[in-house]
Amino acid sequence: MAPSVVFVSFRFGDTDGVSIETAKWAGAFAGMGWRTFTVAGEGRADRLLPGLAAGAGPDEAPTGDELDGALAGADLVVVENLCTIPLNPFASAAVAAALKGRPAILHHHDPGWQRPHLAAAAETAGLPPDDPAWAHVTINQLTRRELAERGLHATAIPNCFDTDAAPGDGTRARRALGVDAGEPLLLHPTRAIPRKNVPAALALAEALGATYWLLGPAEDGYGPQLDGLLATTTARTVRGSPPGVSLADAYAAADAVCLPSVWEGFGNATVESAVHRRPLAVGAYPVIREIAAFGFRWFPADDPGPLRAWLAAPDPALLEANAAIAARHFSLARLRRDLGRLLERRGWA
C-alpha cells in the first residue's frame, strides 16, 4: 500500500497562503505516490477537529485520543503553521505532544516573532517546538536563518507554482466585474489585513487612473478600516472574485498587479504575476530581496511614474524575462524535487 501523509493546520480550503501552499504540497506528494489526507479546525478538510481552529479556547483543545484517531495510519504528518504561530497555543501543544517521536515536517510560513503583536505569545508558548524525529521547513531563507539562531536546523523550500498554467479568460472576468474593456484595472490579489498596505494600493490606483480590484476578504478585524478607505478613495473599486472567475482569469483581466505589503512570508503575487505575464508593483518588505535576487524586474509601489510609463509603452520583453525566471526557479517540478530530496535525507522516501 502507498504511504500516507496527513496535513494538519488551523484551517484549510480558503484563500490564505497556507491553504494554497498546502494544496500544492499535497499535489507534490500525490505525484510521488503518497496518499494524502487533511485535518483542520475549520474550512474544508477530510476531518475537522474544531479545537484546532485559530482562537479556540483551552477547553476545546483536541485530546490525545482525538489526535491519535485523526492521525491514525499516517506514515508522515505535515504541520502547516499550527506549531509555528500562536493563534491557538493549546492546539499547538496538543499536536506537538501527539507527534513526539514520530516522523513529521513542521512547515513554517510566518513565525510569531515576525509579527510584533504575536512575538511575546510565541515565546510564551515555546513555538516552534522541536523533536529529533521532525524536520523543519521554511518558505524563505530569512526564516531559515532566524530558526538557526534559535537552535533549529531547517530546510528552505520556497513557494512554487504551476509555471505552465494556461492563460485565464480576462474578458469573462471583466464582464463579471462590470469593468469595460478599455478601463485600466489594477489587481491586488490578497486578503485585506493591515500588513497588505491597502492605502498604498489605493494611492497607486488613483495615480494610474485605474480601477482597484481587491481580490480577497477583510480579516483580523480590518473590515471597518477597509470600508473607510474605500469610501474615501477617488479610484473606482471592486471587491472579491465573482462566481466562476479563477485566479488565472483575474490576472488575465488586469493591466497591472500590486503587492505593496510591508510584510510577507513570501508574496505569491511576485511569481504569479510573472507566470501570467503581468507587470507588478511591489513594496519593500524584507523577503522581497530574496526573490528579486533571481532577476525579476518589478516596479516600485510607492512611485507610480515608472509603471505609468511602462503601461503607456509596454515592453513584452520584461514580461517574458520574468516568466522565464519563474519557470526556471519556482516550478512545481522544483517543489517535487526539493521535497523528494528532503524525504530521502530523512529516510522517509
pLDDT tens string 145-188: 999 999 999 999 999 999 999 999 999 999 999 999 999 999 99
* pLDDT exceeds cutoff 90 at 195: yes
What pLDDT is attached to residue 16? 84
Task: Determine the pLDDT at residue 115.
Answer: 87
pLDDT reported for residue 17: 87
What per-residue confidence (pLDDT) applies to 116? 86
In this prediction, residue 322 carries a pLDDT of 98
Shared fold status for 4-160+331-346 and 170-329:
yes
Phi, psi dihedrals of residue 42, rounded to the nearest 5°: -155, 175
Q: Percentage of the chain surpassing pLDDT 70?
A: 100
* pLDDT tens column, 102-157: 999 999 999 999 988 899 999 999 999 999 999 999 999 999 999 999 999 999 99
Kindly list the domain boundaries of the chain, sorted by start residue.
Answer: 4-160+331-346, 170-329
**Nearest by Cα to 264 from 284, 280, 246, 281:** 284
Would strands 35-43 and 4-12 be described as parallel, antiparallel, or unpaired? parallel
For residue 5, give the H/E element and its range: strand 4-12
Q: For the segment 12-55, what is each residue's pLDDT rounded down to a tens digit?
A: 998 788 999 999 999 999 999 999 999 999 999 999 999 999 99
Stretch 342-348: mean pLDDT: 97
- pLDDT recorded at residue 14: 83
Q: Give the pLDDT confidence score for residue 15 in this predicted structure.
A: 78
Beta bridge partners of 188: 214
What is the maximum alpha-carbon separation in the chain?
A: 63
Bond before 62 cis per omega within 30 degrees: no
Contacts with 309 (C-beta within 8 Å, 6 or more apart), sequence order? none
Q: In this structure, are residues 336 and 318 in contact, taking their beta carbons and an 8 Å threshold?
A: no
Contacts of 258 (CB under 8 A, 6+ apart): 186, 187, 188, 200, 201, 204, 205, 280, 281, 282, 301
Q: Which residue has the cell 510591508?
A: 262
Cα–Cα distances in angstroms (integers) from residue 328 to residues 162, 304, 325, in the given order: 12, 29, 5
At 274 the pLDDT is 98
Mean pLDDT score across all residues of the chain: 96
| 85-102 residue pLDDT tens | 999 999 999 999 999 999
Q: Which of 98, 91, 94 is nearest to 71 (CA)?
A: 98
Q: To the nearest whole percent, how much of the chain has pLDDT over 90?
A: 97
Q: Identify the pLDDT of residue 287.
A: 97
What pLDDT score does 48 carry?
97
- The structural architecture, per CATH, of the domain 4-160+331-346 is 3-Layer(aba) Sandwich (3.40)
Instruction: Using alpha carbons, select from 78, 267, 270 the residue that is nearest to residue 163.
Output: 270
Residues paired with 135 in a beta bridge: 105
CATH topology of domain 170-329: Rossmann fold (3.40.50)
| Distance from C-alpha of 281 to C-alpha of 285, rounded to nearest angstrom | 12
Q: Chain centroid to CA 114: how far?
A: 15
1 pLDDT tier (thresholds 50, 70, 90): confident
